[in-house]
Amino acid sequence: MKKIWFPCLLLISIISCQKELSIEDGSVVPPGLPSLGNNCKVNQIISADSLTGKGLFSIFTRFNSLGIADKVEVFDSIQASIQFEANLEYIGDTIRLSPTDYFLLDANKRVKGFQTVEFSATTSDSDTLTYVYNYDGNGYLVNKEISVSGIPVPVLRFRYIWSGLNLVAVDGSVAIPGINQKVLTATLEYEPILTAKNFIHILPDGFETSLYIMSLDLGKKSRNLVKKTTVTVYDDSGNVSDVYTASYGNYKFSADGYLLEWFVSGGDTNVLPFQNGRTLFKYFCK
């Protein structure tokens, strides 16, 4: 079966660059940096050289004075150039990204749908992909269905399993009746005590939302800080193709509990927009 989730090929190509890694002990650095404020949210994710802290690439979300995201940029610091940008235009319950791509919001301003057009790399053909997101009564994302133009039923379904106020597993499979086939599974482990104020979602299957993860409301977030992710990807026959395991640590916080950086080790995370090595988090505060 054709892999129809949004691939973020541009982002993958940027973050595939290698970094010089310093020795990291994975420990937690106690708070001590200045406080940020009471109403802050992540507006920039920076992949940084682990020795100097110099940025290699970043994803930046611009918020207006009301705290509403109105622009997203991906910046390649090595080439000193903007590799991607999108303006977010709000029209009723719609966040329009381009003439073909837009998110739909429910009455609680959470994302309930996404539509995008995927163009073939070799022909003039295109598919319209439609995503539908559902939440439980407590406001947690519980499933996502993906449909493709020309097929009357959803073709992929992702289930989200929550425990102890944390997202602990994702199960993605073919949704077409009569086909029992996995496409992606993931498990997430967490620090039992550590939390971070108003951090972002960690969604191992969030290919379509990764560039906009700072801009969107996808329901309640996990309470604790992730310490390990394991993502298994399956091939077109339903056999295991790749397993990606990553460990997260060396967290650094502001004095008032916002996460300022972490270090990822292991293998490729396969959890966009993060990669191995040092990542810095910047914030917009009202």
Q: What is the pLDDT of residue 187?
A: 97
Query: What is the pTM for the complete model shown?
Result: 0.88
Chosen CATH of 9-15+45-285 out of 2.40.160.190, 3.40.50.720, 3.40.50.150, 3.40.50.460 = 2.40.160.190
Look over the chain and give the mean of its residue pLDDT values, rounded to a whole number: 87
CA distance 130 to 113: 7
Q: What is the pLDDT of residue 181?
A: 94
CA distance 101 to 113: 11
Q: Residue 39: pLDDT above 70? A: yes
Domain boundaries, the chain: 9-15+45-285
Q: What is the pLDDT of residue 122?
A: 58
Residue 274 region, left (φ>0) first, then alpha (ψ -120 to 50), else beta? Answer: beta
Mean per-residue pLDDT, 155-170: 97
Mean per-residue pLDDT, 151-158: 95
CA distance 112 to 156: 16
| Confidence at 275, pLDDT banded by 50, 70, 90 | confident
Of 57 and 210, which is predicted with more confidence? 210
| Confidence at 32, pLDDT banded by 50, 70, 90 | low
Whole-Å CA distances, 181 to 155, 156, 199, 239, 270: 11, 10, 33, 9, 20
Mean per-residue pLDDT, 102-113: 97
pLDDT digits (tens, 9 = 90+) for 194-236: 999 999 999 999 999 999 999 999 999 999 999 999 999 999 8
Q: What is the pLDDT of residue 29?
A: 45
DSSP output for 215-267? T---SPPPSEEEEEEEEEEE-TTS-EEEEEEEEEEEEEEETTS-EEEEEEEES
Q: What is the pLDDT of residue 77?
A: 79
Q: What is the pLDDT of residue 49?
A: 82
Of 24 and 87, which is predicted with more confidence? 87
| Confidence at 94, pLDDT banded by 50, 70, 90 | very high
Of 93 and 48, which is predicted with more confidence? 93
CA distance 49 to 16: 13
Of 286 and 243, which is predicted with more confidence? 243
